[in-house]
Amino acid sequence: MFIRGDHAELVVGGRLDVRSAADARTVLHAAVDNGVGDLVLDLSELDSWDATGLGVIMGAHRRAGRCGRRLVLRGVPPQMQRLLVATRLHRILAIEGGIGLESLRV
């Protein structure tokens, strides 16, 4: 897993899972705490995430809200869009461009 960027926009790539969750949490929380306005997470280079990785994203979302910021997901890969729809988290998280529900049909 890698994260590059600053307190306004971060690109997350690789696997966001139980092994990388602690490092990801640290970076995301620092970005939330040290910036203002929207924090954009570009997930277009993310290969996969598990429940722990999704929990890190939700934790950053809650922390951003407490800091008066908004976490915005960009470039969410289709397989991860499916998970967000299945868990109904697409209704809670800000997703740039929304979820392409027509492309999620199996």
pLDDT digits (tens, 9 = 90+) for 68-100: 999 999 999 998 999 999 999 999 999 998 886
More confident residue, 7 or 104: 7
- Helix and strand numbers, DSSP H then E, in the chain: 3, 5
What average pLDDT score do residues 38-54 get? 95
pLDDT above 70 covers a percentage of the chain that reads 93
Assign residue 72 a region: left if phi > 0, alpha if psi is -120 to 50, beta otherwise? beta
